[in-house]
Structure 1
Amino acid sequence: MPKKKWTVLPPPDKEALEQLSLELNTVKNPYFLQLLLSRGIKNFNEAKAFMLPEMQSIHDPFLMKDMDKAVARLGQALENGEKILIYGDYDVDGTTSVALVYGYLLEVLGADCDYYIPDRYTEGYGVSQAGVEFAKDNGYSLIISLDCGIKAHERVAWCNQQGIDFIVCDHHLPDDELPEAIAVLDPKRKDCQYPFKELTGCGVGFKLLQAFIEANFLEPEPLWDKIDLLACSIAADMVPITGENRIFTYFGLEKLGKNALPGIAYLLQTAGKTAPIQVTDIVFSISPVINAAGRMDHAHGAVKLLLAADMLEASQLAEAVLKQNQSRKEVEKEIVQQALEIFHKDSFLPTAFSTVLFHPSWHKGVVGIVASKIQEHYYRPTIILTESNGQLVGSARSVKGFDIHAALESCADLLIQFGGHTHAAGLHLHPENLAAFISRFDELVKKGLSENPPPAELLIDLEIPLSALNLAFHDKLLIRLSPFGPGNMIPLFLSKQLFQTAPPTILKEAHLKLFVQDRPENPTMEVIAFNLRADFYEGLMDAYLNQKPISLVYHVEVNEFRGNRKLQLRALDMA
């Protein structure tokens, strides 16, 4: 039995398929054309824009509400030699934002500036009182917040009283009322007409610098030279890789492969990653290390690494964050195991519609990762909480079809603060409100999912015979759909009536390797199935011994070893 529900996209209209084939002329592969159509690409111009992004296609930054005010105030500060404080969050989006904006202002414009990252444990998320007092005590007259600030009403008001101006660069959902800052740059503002709403915090900072460059007739190359930072923020924050984000990621990955900034280049080198760099390389080899600095100690270490001038400095700075990442892995593994044990011992959770777990000793820095893993395990809205400074603090992760940010809004009277997106959020509450919160949140989930929690679903692009897959299909066609990520996921294929040509092999206790073919005369294909041994080993062995066919849902990838390249299937589910 498959672990998840399989949903195959309906085949495209035959006329649309024929028309696209005519327009592209040299591309006749029906499976590739079907992949294009499923992504809304119907003609030559759309295909060209999708597969060959151009820098000049990004939007006019002055379409963003308050951009003119932000550029004017930044220009005034630079002209008058004012001290500027760049304030950023402690995650990847925040630290890359700071490295981008601070680095550009200092290196290119010679600004009198510094940066401030709040301590996750003593200050928490967002603009802190300690942060704005630091600005006052050190004579800063302008603060630019990045990846935070959209809900910093009290802190911005305090700054106004102290004569400190504030520019907010954020991408989170705002309240009905905005902070009374000089400028509030956020494409999600209700009154903002900016065409693309899914920028990261680093993306908003990039647009501010783009606007300043255009307004002052400066060369854009020094900004584009930092686009690998922006690509890292997009991959790490899991925003849709569509529209402008696709352009930024496309060129950011290109730069990562050719001439990455030293700090990122060192992390890629340490992980053994070489060009072409993929979004998954950022997600699994760069983001966890950068995040670990803020999770396990202080994010200043990550910013310093991102600002490293050369590989020698990068190697020295990376040593600490790499150790922090190893510590993070160990702590995360222990907490996930504890969370699963608490779930199974609880009398309420097995029949609940949501999962809310709390332990006072859990490490605050990894509750978001743990929430994601527990959500994946049970596939329902999940909140993981720990205790910090007398409050319960934690992270929330949702499932398809449930707006977890809206649910937290409905619990606002029980919370100290919260913020985030539709699928992920953070929250603080008083310990005495926990029981009432768990009850109300579960009712909201029950109602929001119509009392029928959706099964974990695999959205399959198309059913395809194994004989249609080869290295040319991957290298000349499939790769042209990249970069992959939310909004343009790596294609997922289904193949049926496959027979194993050898018994399944267990790898490192939890994984499987298979060899399959659809016809005796066709080549055998290697299949890797991570973390699926417990679910499928016995069934696969029975299918092999009795020559029963199996079905696979998988991604296509290339396995390269000692210069030899071969196609490999990465199975996500099977039956």
Structure 2
Amino acid sequence: MSAEKRWVLKEQGEPAKVARLATALEIPPVLANLLVQRGIETEEEAWQFFNPKLENLHDPFLMKDMRKAVERVDLALSRGESIMVYGDYDVDGTTAVALVYSFLRRLGHKALMFYIPDRYTEGYGVSYKAIDHAQRKGVGVIITLDCGIKATEKVAYAKERGIDMIICDHHLPGEKIPEAVAVLDPKRADCPYPFKELSGCGVGFKMLQGYCLYKGLPFSEVECLLDLVVVSIASDIVPLVGENRILAYYGLKRLNEKPGKGLQSIIKICGLEKHAITIDDIVFKIGPRINAAGRMEVDAEGENAAPSGGHSAVYLMVARDEEVATEYGAFIDRSNQDRKNIDRSVTQEAHDFIEHHPQMKELKSTVIYNPQWMKGIVGIVASRLIETYYRPTVVLTMSNGFVTGSARSVPGFDLYQAVESCADLLENFGGHMYAAGMTMKPENVEMFTKRFNDYVEEHIDPEMLIPQVDIDSELLFSDITPHFRATLARFQPFGPGNTAPVFVTRNVSNRGDARLVGAEREHLKMDLIQGQKPNTVIPAIAFQQPKLYEYVRTGRSIDVCYSVVENHYRGAVFAQLRIKDIKKSNPTAAKD
């Protein structure tokens, strides 16, 4: 099990800048400090941050190849050419496909189809099988979303068959850009687009925005699809800054006020229709259900098979009929339940294996292989194992004659470099600093395990193996006023690059009402007080933290780090602390 967490206080904002902002904006200094920590130092920058505006979205024609893309789409529409909208099987890919498909359908285009590759038989990215299918169906243009930037050979293969391709991707390109009709990717070295961190669905949105400008169509034609864009932004964990912040802000507004029928059915299933949906709700409730469809293995085959896998997620999100949306929503929810059951079972098997092999627990990384595990859930299992053992983790299984797997990292350690150091043992691999995937021959598993473990042993800083809580600043409970909460709410939506702030308050206590809640009494719920003032009593919950229950309920002094959230109960709205970690107070520390 992992060691006690390290609490690290972030560097504080320059006092003069903080004071100037606090005065100019009439906000508490602790929140002005948050702005400065986030690189917002002037009143004008703060105003733009607190008031996202759609008119501040960048001109889509700043993106390399945008004009070529919209002209080719327009030509296809005017000719009545058949268009295939193609995307990856995860949330970003399926929302992107639903976005572009819905838009083109609303324009009245009839010769339209979508395609999601099967995770198990086709794998990630553009597949030859899809191109062959497109040729049989007489498709003239394939629009790829959230994939295609490295599909050089597939683009050439499609071209030989008389099919043009438009690529919309957000991943890093390889050495060569595919020779497609247009390649939209802000991460292209030759692309001057000012914002580089769009999701795959976000790049698709920019193409549609560009098309509207090109044809003189009102922005409302694409604005109504922003609920799909925010689901992709939240689920793909892209930075919630710049253009993504604007898209997410208005996407959440749409998701809360007038979502599409498909997303509405998922919102109901998740029990979210009665309160304001947040980024966290998408990440933990909506996104996993959409993802589950593409994770589960599919038995159906053939041209007339029922929609399944990632296709069912798109059918859900493009549904215009409430009954159809409800049907697909229920199917996807069952897929998610199946996924959770398998995920729970495999995670337990992995835990049992590690616990029965003590030598594995002594290592600084985990590589675990079982050919029976389902390919679609190994990434989730890797993340679960990190929650317990807190070290870089690779989970491997067998698929189509090859060993395939997913890797996850801990903050600060470059996992991609560790995997890349074993490149000669791999058939292919990809990913980034904190997540990667790989494929290898079965005979290479033993050597990969040794080499990966050796690399981590040599390169990881021991401190990276201790969970860390990053704290924005110190706070007194008496500072958490209605004005403070109202101002804090304006920092939303929270996400990477603009995380929910974490505060620390020292020497607080409980007056004996602490209790364990949850099915397995795994969560600690309590009221906390600082000093003797009644207005400093604040309800708090510490998820998965029962260990200090007996200590806390005796009223002894503790330090807590937490986020401030709003809790809705019977029409009332009140502040609640979502506890990140608890420590016994230092008895020599100054009291409030």
Q: Same fold (TM over 0.5)?
A: yes
Question: In the alignment, which residue of structure 1 is the partner of 2:214?
Answer: 215
Question: In the alignment, which residue of structure 1 is the partner of 2:241?
Answer: 242
Range moving further from structure 2, 458-467 or 64-73: 64-73
Question: In the alignment, which residue of structure 1 is the partner of 2:165?
Answer: 166
Shift in alpha-carbon separation, 1:28–1:77, aligned structure 2, 3 A: closer
What CA RMSD, in Å, does the superposition of the two structures yield over aligned residues? 1.9
Question: In the alignment, which residue of structure 2 is the partner of 1:432?
Answer: 443
Q: Which residue among 462, 467, 483 is the counterpart of 1:456?
A: 467
CA distance in 2, matches of 1:85, 1:117: 10
SS at match of 1:192: coil
Question: In the alignment, which residue of structure 1 is the partner of 2:548?
Answer: 536
- 1:229 is matched by which residue type in structure 2? L
Contact 1:254–1:276 (8 Å) recurs in 2 = no
- 1:352 is matched by which residue type in structure 2? L
SS at match of 1:65: coil
Shift in alpha-carbon separation, 1:451–1:444, aligned structure 2, 3 A: farther
Question: In the alignment, which residue of structure 2 is the partner of 1:184?
Answer: 183
Shift in alpha-carbon separation, 1:404–1:62, aligned structure 2, 3 A: farther
Post-superposition shift, 1:136?
A: 1.2
Contact 1:470–1:567 (8 Å) recurs in 2 = no
Matched, 1:498 2:511: no
Question: In the alignment, which residue of structure 2 is the partner of 1:512?
Answer: 524
Task: Tell me the alpha carbon deviations over residues 240-270 of structure 1, each in whole angstroms, 9 at most, x when there is no partner.
Answer: 1111110000000001111011111121122
Shift in alpha-carbon separation, 1:386–1:491, aligned structure 2, 3 A: same
Contact 2:313–2:332 (8 Å) recurs in 1 = yes
Contact 1:171–1:198 (8 Å) recurs in 2 = yes
Matched, 1:325 2:336: yes
Question: In the alignment, which residue of structure 1 is the partner of 2:589?
Answer: none
Range moving further from structure 2, 251-260 or 514-523: 514-523
Task: Tell me the alpha carbon deviations over residues 195-239 of structure 1, each in whole angstroms, 9 at most, x when there is no partner.
Answer: 111111101111111112212222221111001100000000111
SS at match of 2:406: strand
Query: Which structure 2 residues correspond to residues 193-272 of structure 1 after superposition, within 5 A?
Result: 193-272=192-271
Post-superposition shift, 1:430?
A: 1.2
SS at match of 1:209: helix
Range moving further from structure 2, 393-402 or 239-248: 393-402
Give the number of equivalent residue pairs. Answer: 567
Post-superposition shift, 1:454?
A: 4.4
Post-superposition shift, 1:448?
A: 3.7
Matched, 1:148 2:147: yes
SS at match of 2:490: helix
CA distance in 2, matches of 1:410, 1:154: 26
Shift in alpha-carbon separation, 1:92–1:488, aligned structure 2, 3 A: same
Post-superposition shift, 1:76?
A: 2.2
- 2:287 is matched by which residue type in structure 1? S
SS at match of 1:416: strand
Question: In the alignment, which residue of structure 2 is the partner of 1:527?
Answer: 540
- 1:506 is matched by which residue type in structure 2? L
Post-superposition shift, 1:335?
A: 1.1
Contact 1:120–1:295 (8 Å) recurs in 2 = yes
Range moving further from structure 2, 294-303 or 266-275: 266-275
Q: Which residue among 577, 581, 588 is the counterpart of 1:569?
A: 577
CA distance in 1, matches of 2:503, 2:534: 18
CA distance in 1, matches of 2:395, 2:77: 44
Contact 2:3–2:467 (8 Å) recurs in 1 = no
CA distance in 2, matches of 1:2, 1:443: 22
Post-superposition shift, 1:421?
A: 2.7
Post-superposition shift, 1:157?
A: 2.0
Task: Tell me the alpha carbon deviations over residues 467-488 of structure 1, each in whole angstroms, 9 at most, x when there is no partner.
Answer: 11144422x1111000001111
Question: In the alignment, which residue of structure 2 is the partner of 1:280?
Answer: 280
Question: In the alignment, which residue of structure 1 is the partner of 2:484?
Answer: 473
Q: Which residue among 468, 487, 493 is the counterpart of 1:483?
A: 493
Contact 1:2–1:574 (8 Å) recurs in 2 = no
CA distance in 2, matches of 1:448, 1:172: 26
Unmatched runs of 5 consecutive residues or more in structure 1: none
Seq. identity, %: 43
Question: In the alignment, which residue of structure 1 is the partner of 2:557?
Answer: 549
Contact 1:23–1:43 (8 Å) recurs in 2 = no
Range moving further from structure 2, 374-383 or 40-49: 374-383
Question: In the alignment, which residue of structure 1 is the partner of 2:73?
Answer: 74
Task: Tell me the alpha carbon deviations over residues 349-388 of structure 1, each in whole angstroms, 9 at most, x when there is no partner.
Answer: 3232322211111122211211222223222222211111
Matched, 1:295 2:295: yes
Contact 2:8–2:470 (8 Å) recurs in 1 = yes
Query: Which structure 2 residues correspond to residues 346-495 of structure 1 after superposition, within 5 A?
Result: 346-450=357-461, 453-474=464-485, 476-495=486-505
- 2:24 is matched by which residue type in structure 1? E
CA distance in 1, matches of 2:99, 2:151: 22
Shift in alpha-carbon separation, 1:391–1:2, aligned structure 2, 3 A: closer
Post-superposition shift, 1:563?
A: 1.4
Contact 1:173–1:421 (8 Å) recurs in 2 = no
CA distance in 1, matches of 2:42, 2:110: 47
SS at match of 1:477: helix
Contact 2:95–2:317 (8 Å) recurs in 1 = yes
CA distance in 2, matches of 1:440, 1:295: 29
Contact 2:410–2:464 (8 Å) recurs in 1 = no
Range moving further from structure 2, 2-11 or 86-95: 2-11
CA distance in 2, matches of 1:18, 1:242: 24
- 2:437 is matched by which residue type in structure 1? G
Contact 2:19–2:32 (8 Å) recurs in 1 = no
CA distance in 2, matches of 1:519, 1:318: 50
Post-superposition shift, 1:451?
A: 6.0
SS at match of 1:500: coil
Shift in alpha-carbon separation, 1:135–1:406, aligned structure 2, 3 A: farther
Post-superposition shift, 1:155?
A: 1.6
Shift in alpha-carbon separation, 1:448–1:167, aligned structure 2, 3 A: farther
CA distance in 2, matches of 1:544, 1:219: 60
Shift in alpha-carbon separation, 1:340–1:19, aligned structure 2, 3 A: same
CA distance in 2, matches of 1:56, 1:359: 52
Unmatched runs of 5 consecutive residues or more in structure 2: 299-308, 584-592
Contact 2:266–2:329 (8 Å) recurs in 1 = yes
Task: Tell me the alpha carbon deviations over residues 387-418 of structure 1, each in whole angstroms, 9 at most, x when there is no partner.
Answer: 11111122221222223233333332222222
Post-superposition shift, 1:544?
A: 4.1
- 2:560 is matched by which residue type in structure 1? L
Question: In the alignment, which residue of structure 1 is the partner of 2:63?
Answer: 64
Contact 1:173–1:420 (8 Å) recurs in 2 = no
CA distance in 2, matches of 1:438, 1:149: 30
Contact 2:412–2:464 (8 Å) recurs in 1 = no
CA distance in 2, matches of 1:396, 1:424: 6
Shift in alpha-carbon separation, 1:505–1:65, aligned structure 2, 3 A: same
Post-superposition shift, 1:347?
A: 5.0
Shift in alpha-carbon separation, 1:309–1:418, aligned structure 2, 3 A: same
Question: In the alignment, which residue of structure 2 is the partner of 1:16?
Answer: 17
CA distance in 2, matches of 1:343, 1:512: 28
SS at match of 1:453: helix
Contact 1:530–1:571 (8 Å) recurs in 2 = yes
Post-superposition shift, 1:77?
A: 1.8
Range moving further from structure 2, 115-124 or 175-184: 175-184
Give the structure-2-normalised TM-score. 0.92
Range moving further from structure 2, 111-120 or 339-348: 339-348
Shift in alpha-carbon separation, 1:543–1:286, aligned structure 2, 3 A: closer
